[in-house]
Amino acid sequence: MLKSISNLVAVLLLACIFSCSYENESLEIPKSSDLDLIKIFDDFEDYQSTLTLFSTFKETSDFEKWSHQVNYVSAYHSNKITVEDKNNIPFTFLFILNENKEFIIGNKLIHYSEGIFYENTIDSFGRIITKDQSKVIGTFKQESSPVEETELVNYSSKVGLSTQNGTLYKPASGWKEFDRNTYQSYCGTPINKSLKYRLVHYLAVETIDLGGVIQTFVYFKLRMSHKGGANWIYNNTTTERLYNINISGNCRIKYYTGTQFGNTQYFNFNSNNNCSNPLKGTKYFPLADFVFFKPTNISLYKWEVSLGGTVFHKVNGDNQNFNTTVNW
């Protein structure tokens, strides 16, 4: 994915904005027992370099490989954090936050809870000076609350997505319902195992407002929901699935008047898996990102996305599949 010149400039300005808060605060922090197994950035420049690296990642597996190299349990890999809670954490921060949903920049302990980032201070001995929910330094907004696939509507031409609240685009052609006949685990023998389920693919926006900087991301996602009793379970994280997607297109930020703001960002994904590495839960494909600076009124801007290609998606071992083209 090509990054715009605007984004490169934004990253440099981002370091400048944070310098007032983090300059000269890089400390050698002895790890106390309550600060073990946490990601520590020496200063904001160190933190910035990781975000810059993340912007080059194309697949969830890239983040997973990075996470395996660090010496703490990330929120992404933690068994202590529920699936529902993980769904309410910014995707990139699933790999920065530990299982207590914390990380450190300089002598600041950053804690995340229910869409809010809080800041606490650590002394030179690694002791937390303040541990409360009073100093808010950021917020996170993602796609709207789960909706039934039957509520989805068709759109035409290019897709417009709000940069303000975190939105989703799920066309009526972006999901299909099945009654499962057979199922297999990894590359084992298929067995008879019934389940009513839906396979869904869609676009979603995540928006992070942290330290006076607003980052907005567009993702293409693959998800499965299934019938549990009388209700539909929005995000199935246990059923193994196979996929093969080949999509390409572009994203751009547009002002409310229709004027393009910044450069067009292009994407091209040709990705698949097999029974030896089946998918569980939601699969993220990062398409584009953009940075705004306060006091920008981001309600005046939107993402415009053009996307085309093919999507193959199925439950592992079932004899049915969702094989379709997309032209959004």
Amino acid at 34: D
Q: Tokens 């297999």 appear where?
A: 184
pLDDT confidence of residue 34 = 55
Judge whether 328 and 155 are in contact, CB under 8 Å: yes
C-beta neighbour count of 15 within 10 angstroms: 15
pLDDT confidence of residue 275 = 97
What distance in Å separates the CA atoms of residue 119 and residue 104, rounded to the nearest whole number? 9
Judge whether 284 and 145 are in contact, CB under 8 Å: no
pLDDT confidence of residue 25 = 44
Amino acid at 144: S
Specify burial of residue 285 (Cβ count, 10 A radius: 0-12, 13-18, 19+): buried
C-beta neighbour count of 184 within 10 angstroms: 17
Look at residues 114, 90, 104, 76 and name the one whose alpha carbon lies nearest to residue 216.
90
Amino acid at 164: Q
Amino acid at 304: E
Judge whether 226 and 195 are in contact, CB under 8 Å: yes
Q: Is the pTM of this model over 0.85?
A: no
What distance in Å separates the CA atoms of residue 286 and residue 149, rounded to the nearest whole number? 22
Q: If you ran DSSP here, which 8-state letter would residue 128 be given?
A: B
Helix or strand or coil: residue 70? coil
Both tokens of 54, joined, read 């993340």
Write out the chain's pLDDT in tens, 328 residues. 434 434 443 444 444 444 444 444 444 444 444 566 899 999 888 888 888 888 888 778 889 899 888 889 999 999 998 877 887 899 999 999 999 999 999 888 999 998 999 998 887 776 777 665 578 889 998 876 555 566 555 444 568 888 876 777 878 789 999 999 999 999 999 999 999 999 999 998 989 988 777 889 999 999 999 998 888 888 888 999 999 999 999 999 999 898 998 899 999 999 999 999 999 988 989 999 888 888 899 999 999 999 999 999 999 999 999 999 999 9
Q: If you ran DSSP here, which 8-state letter would residue 98 be given?
A: B
